Amino acid sequence: MKRIVVGITGASGTIYGLRLLEALKATPDVETHLVMSKWAKENLAVEHTGYTLKQVNQLADVVYDERDMGATIASGSFMHDGMVIVPASMKTVASIATGLGDTLIGRAADVTLKERRPLLLVPRESPFNQIHLENMLKLSKMGVEIIPPIPAFYNNPETIDDLINHNTMKLLDHLHIANDFGGRWQGLNQAKAALKDRDRG
């Protein structure tokens, strides 16, 4: 069974974290460990996700309070197969880049790094300033995968859900979890044929 740690911070785009949790829950043999920051919880209502906190917690196998620095995921001895912070606020990115570890999300990311396990960040900010970019470059050089939620249009998305699913597919791919979640590139000829079929409809 794979163990995946998911951190959801207060950056805009809470739905990206929720969609990943939905996908992981629907995947056999995956155990999900969830931490949400205070402002991530606020965003559940602000961004009209349609989820209550109770419903979000039910998507995970284990849920932690962000202040619980004694949690199992705060230790490198806790074995897991990767951590995703989605969305990742610039405060969280800075905390990880400097090794601050002042919240459970930051501490869990720190031990993920020191144990050389996969760490994926989905930064949600625009535009990036030089500090943001330097922090992400520093982390990238350490092996962190920076996967911003940039939409793709080659698969002709028709809804916001299509755009969210495409990003979720990328995260699952980088966690080495088989999926067919977001419309993969099938080559130019097939893309043109699919577009013609849609126009005829």
**Would the annotation count 201 as a binding residue?**
no
Task: Name every residue whose Cβ is closer than 8 Å to that of residue 86 and which is 6 or more positions away in sequence.
Answer: 6, 7, 8, 13, 16, 17, 20, 120, 121, 122, 171
Tell me the C-alpha distance between 113 and 110, whole Å: 5
* 38 annotated ligand-binding residue: no
Q: Is 126 annotated as a binding residue?
A: no
Residue 77 is assigned to a ligand binding site: no
Q: Is 92 within any annotated ligand binding site?
A: yes
41 is in an annotated binding site: no
Q: CA torsion, points 184, 188, 194, 195, in degrees to nearest 10?
A: 110
| Angle, in degrees to the nearest 10, between helices 14-25 and 160-174 | 60
| 37 labeled binding residue | yes
Which amino acid, one-letter code, is at 45? A
Provide CB contacts within 8 A for 153, sequence distance 6+.
none
Q: How far apart are CA 113 and CA 191, in angstroms?
A: 39
Q: Does the annotation flag 91 for ligand binding?
A: yes
Q: Which helix (H) or strand (E) holds 168?
A: helix 160-174
Q: Distances in Å between the alpha carbon of 170 and those of 30, 43, 76?
A: 17, 23, 26
Q: Is position 7 annotated in a ligand binding site? A: no
**Can you say which residues are annotated as belonging to the binding site for dimethylallyl phosphate?**
154, 170
**Can you say which residues are annotated as belonging to the binding site?**
10-12, 37, 89-92, 124, 154, 170
**Can you say which residues are annotated as belonging to the binding site for FMN?**
10-12, 37, 89-92, 124
